[in-house]
Structure 1
Amino acid sequence: MEELKDIELIIIQSLDQTASLADLATLKNWMEASEVNRQHYFKMKDMWDASRTYTDSSAKQAWGRVNNRITQRHIPKWTVEFLKIAAVAIVAVLLSYLVFNIPTETELYSNNTTVEVPNGSQSTIYLNDGTKVKLNAGSKLIYPNSFNGDTRQVQLFGEGYFEVTHNPEHPFVVSAGEIEVRVLGTEFNVMAYPEYNRIETTLIDGKVALNRIGANTKPMVLKPGQKATYSNGKLSLERADIPLETNWTKNSFYFKSTPFSELVMRLERWYAVDIEYKTEDFKDITFTGKFRNNETIWQVLDAIQITTAIRYKSENEKIYITLTK
């Protein structure tokens, strides 16, 4: 029984991204020991996912007050961690009420709202025109509190999946790096992480027009199933692999001849880990494979080992990957 309580504490800390690499290794071994253990983990993860919508500082402060009281009593650590989840969930409900009913300082003194998604998380936002935006890990969206101009303009850093409410009189415009995506009402994905040195726009439904910000040239118009890539000052058009480009919206990985450097950056964002490797050793290495977000970072690395000659170890809160020779 005590062993289960210890494991439950590690599970919660892994979801809270406070677990050490040693604890994550212990969790990996425990999950691989039996299917019952795996199911127990996913039940706890479902509880966590249901309560992690808000990570506002107010929620953390509320938890701090709860923690100060319960630490004076003899309550098991694993129970304390579950109380933490409950505290955040309760405050999330209160925050929802406050956000929609009482103007915040941002709303009073700024015309824009900024939403930043940390590594290891995703977020879904509904804009005031009804547009739905899903943001991938490590992304940021800046948008006005209300769309009052001729266009509905937002700014994206990272990756977002947009389901835009149709309004032909007020086109929806996404600025991402040097590119501007103009739409009327459609579904599309924009990937604009600065470290990738390219911007990709994939159209799922409807029609979009792309151009460099401030350019006087004729825009590139996409049809459903097409992908435009902006790199080195040029736009190119190709047929899109829709599952490949949008798999992240379904909490899964899909890699297809992905350079190892990009694979590492994606894993770091999704799992909020720090991975070290020698760039020169892996410059010609690519990876193809599919994963669900149910796997731990260790299970993903184990799967990569099957097709790629790598070894990995955890040390000093980092993961080190080397190429076997």
Structure 2
Amino acid sequence: MWYYHITDDFMDNSNLQQLIDKYLQGTISVEEKERLLLWYRQQQEEENIWELAPGETEQQVGERMKANIWAQMDNIPVRKRVYWPYAAVAAALLLVSFSILMWNKSTSNEQQVAFSKSEGSANRFILLPDSSRVVLRAGSKLSYPNTFDDATREVSLEGEAYFDIKHRNNQPFIIHTGEIKTTVLGTAFTIKYPTDSKQIEVLVERGKVRVENEKQVFVELVADQKIDLKESQLKAKVEKINTALALSWKRQDMSFDALAFGDIAKNLEKRYGVKLHFINPALENCPVSGKFTGSETIEEVLLNICATRNAIYRKTADGEYEIQGEGCQ
């Protein structure tokens, strides 16, 4: 969540704030969008080309771009407060609408491995290189590449995870669990694969998935359906389930009832693998209440939590989050 401070005479006497408002509301004209993007390009001291450094993902280069945008915005004189009602919309403001030339100087696509085994009972949120979301249950392991450059997006899972997959028409998403693979035909689902039992459970919240091995397709599941399947099994029985109840684990530690902001921050640091810093230490003791599904990004969570305390947050150039606001009485 951000508050922007903007003057009317900025950007050739046009109101930059008004253009941003129109952009977020989807009412901006082609001409106005061109003017907005022209302003951004004019703020750059170098040619508008953003390179992918070795081992860097598109998401990371996006963060570098956002840091540049914040640096430009900080120099704008104060006039009024504007509250952005949607998580991460302002953060992504100019990243989704203009063409950027990027190339990777490294041809390697090194494997990334995300664990939640060392964090006790804490679940772990993962944002994949394609912006798909994963909630990895404690004791689980997810392996995935730096970037999804192949014809398919493939990951490997041990344990249990919730997936909310970003759709790509020509690049299917596949999860490998032992000899079984699950291909995403829809969006949100969970897979449970305890390596000691070789029993695979697939549960679909919405959309559709296909479960198969090298020899056969077992089933295509739709919303509120699940199967339990052994790797040696030839047939699988489809069950109707209560999805909300079955997925209650991903909401663990994401409901707060008058909990101190500082304690919430510690939980969020573990879940999202980030660092949170309070500019005003008095804010840490303020009680905060909130309820989340568990699949929100850290920006979406901070947006809502900060709103309850009339606070703001900002992601710094080194990837930490700074929270600013007054303390409570």
Sort the TM-score into its range (normalised by shorter chain).
Answer: 0.3 to 0.5
Report the structure, 1 or 2, having the larger helix content.
Answer: 1
TM-score by length of 1: 0.42
Q: Which structure has the higher relative contact order (CA within 8 Å, separation 6+)?
A: 2
